[in-house]
Structure 1
Amino acid sequence: MPLTPEQQAEIDALRATPRATLRAVSEGMEAHLYRAHEVLDHGFVRVIDYMGDDAAIVQAARVSYGAGTRKVNDDSGLIRYLMRHWHSTPFEMCEVKLHVKLPIFVARQWIRHRTANVNEYSARYSIMDREFYIPAAEHLAAQSTVNNQGRGATLQGDEAARVLEILKSDAARSYDHYEEMLSQDGQQGLARELARMNLPANIYTQWYWKTDLHNLFHFLRLRADPHAQYEIRVYAEAIARVVADWVPVAFGAFEDYRMGGVTLSAKAIAVLKRRLAGETVTQEDSGMSKGEWREFTEIWG
């Protein structure tokens, strides 16, 4: 169960007592406020608070650029201009605070984005819940033979069953031993900060994660990408759906220029110009490495 009864009661109470405000409000985001969007088997993402909307991006840009923005016909055009030309500061005027429940190994990937304020559940002070991420069978895969940090073919039959059983039994045994070691129920045992070292990386933790829209877009560009690890990608996809309702114009520009666009190197541009001129270009005379050429041809043929 992703939400505890206490958390659900808190959400119901908060949503039952709305207050009038003079600050900018995004109707799309209001629909998400406090609601938990379930992710994986026990995880969730929920919006705790936010600041700003599409209009806040425009407002900040017009303060910064002044008369120069009068050439832009409307707010949508200005936001697309900002995204197209990598003007990041106006997007930093919007912020969001999320409550996320996620496996520890996903959290360790996530925390590499060092552009947010984070406060995580402390296993020094509290006892961790017996909740582990156990992949569905379709997400059990062997190591990729072409990518050292990716997955290959999906495990089948007896091999999938064997791996699942190991994951489940190891998680349960580790937690049993964690409970047995704790200083509780009259035994001296270990302090919580020491007993936690025996817990597996697939146990769930929780944190509050606050960031601005510019850095959130950077997170989504990397983690909502099809090449990202599935377990963090589904969190990014859940967040992306929320952001699409929060700042629809900015998110549309982000999808167009960042998620749907590509960045070309000087060598790639030169190759395209030669191709357009009718020249046949090979990897050997392109000036690109084999890896660069492979990525180039995956897009351009």
Structure 2
Amino acid sequence: MEETIEQLSRFHSKALDDILGKPFKVLDDGFVRVVDYMGTDSSIVQAARVSYGKGTKKVSRDRELIRYLLRHQHTSPFEMCSIKLHVRVPMDCWRQWIRHRTASVNEYSTRYSIAINAAQKTAPDAWRGQSDVNHQGSAGLIDPETGREFSQEESELHQLARHIYSKRLDAGVAREQARKDLPLCTYTEAYWKIDLHNLLHFLKLRMENNAQKEIRDYALTIGHEIVSRWAPVTWEAFNDYVMQSIQFSRLEREILACLLQGLPEAALEKAESFGWLVRDAQGILKKRQERYEFEEKMRSMNITLPWEKDSI
């Protein structure tokens, strides 16, 4: 006798339904909003139980199963959920965004349409300095007085670029060519569709403190305003096991093991053998990115490392 086929129904998230189409403002003139979605936490559980069979229902509750899947990086059930977002984002930020090639994208075309008349502006007190440690990142702020000059020049540049662009269009220059000197701060719009597994990977990278602030603002909005409503159990597990967790390399574990055994001198010897404590002619520790990252991890747990005690 054939088994009865289980009646299926579409899973809905009332919390997400309530914000469909609602734009969440990001930066000065950007936004992100949900256009459509498929699946919820229940879809992840449903997909996982197909793999494990009916018996799993008696062993695991939904929350426990989702947490187990994420903790052990069983990713395919999370691919059963997908979401489509409408985003408005500066082009320089969009260049980083589009590097995540695991989504389906359709972007506003300035070959067919006139470029959006909006450009991201920087407040006088928001100009960031170059990081000495992370060469692709920023650290600290430029003094507001200098920033005020930069912001004024920025405004003048935006106006001039837009004037030249409009002048070319009025003269009949093709849109595809007239656009070529628009600044990267010009806003663009796109529909971006991605499954939950790959969205979590995007958020992991772009919500980090060392991510560029502009794209981090978008990632934080997507995470806290959208994913938390869409799949709250997954969001909780993601924060517990990914965003709020710490991963140690073999080298870091060896030093940490020495510290836990109360052997700071052995920890120093380990760091020396790894080449982390090389000094310059003035006796100052040379910059080592790997050491810096380990120090950051230890600071997050209020642990002082032996070479920091003497302000090495």
Give the TM-score taking structure 1 as reference length: 0.87
Instruction: Report the alpha carbon displacement of residue 140 of structure 1 after superposing the two structures with TM.
Output: 1.0
- Determine whether 1:169 maps to 2:145: no
Counterpart residue type for residue 297 of structure 1:
E
Structure 2 residues without counterparts, runs of 5 or longer: 1-8, 277-288, 304-312
Which of 203, 209, 212 is equivalent to 1:220? 203
Secondary structure of the 1:162 match is helix
Task: Judge conservation of contact 1:53–1:246 (CA < 8 Å) in 2.
Answer: yes
- Judge conservation of contact 1:99–1:206 (CA < 8 Å) in 2: yes
Query: How many residues were matched structurally?
Result: 277
Structure 1 spans left out of the alignment, 5+ residues: 1-21
Q: 1:160 to 1:97 in 2, by over 3 A?
A: same
Compute the displacement of 1:192 (Å).
0.3
Instruction: Give the secondary-structure state (helix, strand or coil) at the position aligned to 1:282.
Output: helix
Equivalence for 1:193: 176
Equivalence for 2:291? 293
1:235 paired with 2:235, answer no
CA contact (8 A) 2:254 2:270 kept: no
Bigger Cα Rg: 2
Superposed CA deviations along residues 218-261 of structure 1, whole A, max 9, x for unmatched, are 01111111221111111001100210011000000000011000
Q: Percent identity?
A: 45
Q: What are the residue-to-residue correspondences of 1:118-157 with 2, within 5 Å?
A: 118-157=105-144
| Counterpart Cα distance in 1 of 2:64 and 2:186 | 45
Are the equivalent residues in 1 in contact too, given 2:81–2:195 (CA < 8 A)?
yes
Offset of residue 295 of structure 1: 1.9
In the TM superposition, residue 67 of structure 1 has moved relative to its aligned partner by 5.9
- Which residue matches 2:246? 262
- Offset at residue 267 of structure 1 (A): 2.7
**Structure 2: how far apart are the matches of 1:288 and 1:138?**
40
Shift of 1:84: 0.6
Which moved further from structure 2: 136-145 or 54-63?
A: 136-145
1:41 deviation in Å?
0.8
Structure 1 stretch 281-290 or stretch 51-60: which is displaced more? 281-290
Q: Secondary structure at the match of 1:218?
A: helix
Which residue in 2 is equivalent to 1:106? 93
- Taking the aligned partners of 1:139 and 1:288, their CA distance within structure 2 comes to 38
Give the Å deviation of 1:53. Answer: 0.4
Residue type matched to 1:277 in 2?
Q
**Partners of 1:54 and 1:249 within 8 A in 2:** yes
Aligned-partner Cα distance in 1 for 2:132–2:254: 32
1:73 aligned residue (60, 82, 85): 60
Is 2:270 aligned against 1:251? Answer: no
- d(CA) in 1 for partners of 2:135, 2:249: 25
Question: Which residue of structure 2 aligns with residue 276 of structure 1?
Answer: 260
When the two chains are superposed, the root-mean-square deviation of aligned CA atoms in Å is 1.9
Change (3 A) 1:173 1:283: farther
**Deviation (angstroms), 1:289:** 5.0
Alpha-carbon spacing, 1:272–1:140, altered in 2? closer, same or farther (3 Å): same
